[in-house]
Amino acid sequence: MRHWLLKSEPDEFSIDDLAAAKGRKVAWFGVRNYQARNYMRDEMQVGDPAFFYHSSCPEPGIAGIVEVSKAAFPDATQFDAASKYHDPKATRAAPRWFNVEVRLVEKTRLVPLAELRADPALATLRILQRGNRLSITPVEPAEWSRICRLAGSRAR
Domain spans of the chain, in order of start: 3-151
Is residue 135 pLDDT above 90, yes or no? yes
CB atoms within 10 A of CB 79: 17
Is residue 54 pLDDT above 80, yes or no? yes
Which of 29 and 54 is assigned the larger pLDDT? 54
Q: How far apart are CA 10 and CA 34, in angstroms?
A: 22
Identify the pLDDT of residue 122.
Answer: 98
Identify the pLDDT of residue 156.
Answer: 62
- Percent of the chain at pLDDT > 70 equals 99
Average pLDDT, the chain: 96
Contacts of 54 (CB under 8 A, 6+ apart): 7, 8, 9, 10, 14, 15, 60, 61, 62, 63, 110
Going by CATH, does the domain composed of 3-151 fall within 3.30.300.30?
Answer: no
Q: How far apart are CA 13 and CA 9, in angstroms?
A: 6
Identify the pLDDT of residue 154.
Answer: 76
Averaged pLDDT, 130-153: 94
Backbone angles phi, psi at 96, to 5 degrees: -100, -25
Identify the pLDDT of residue 140.
Answer: 97
Averaged pLDDT, 16-29: 97
Averaged pLDDT, 113-134: 95
Identify the pLDDT of residue 83.
Answer: 95
Averaged pLDDT, 41-58: 97
Identify the pLDDT of residue 131.
Answer: 87
Averaged pLDDT, 13-20: 97
- CA terminus-to-terminus distance, the chain: 13
Is residue 155 pLDDT above 90, yes or no? no
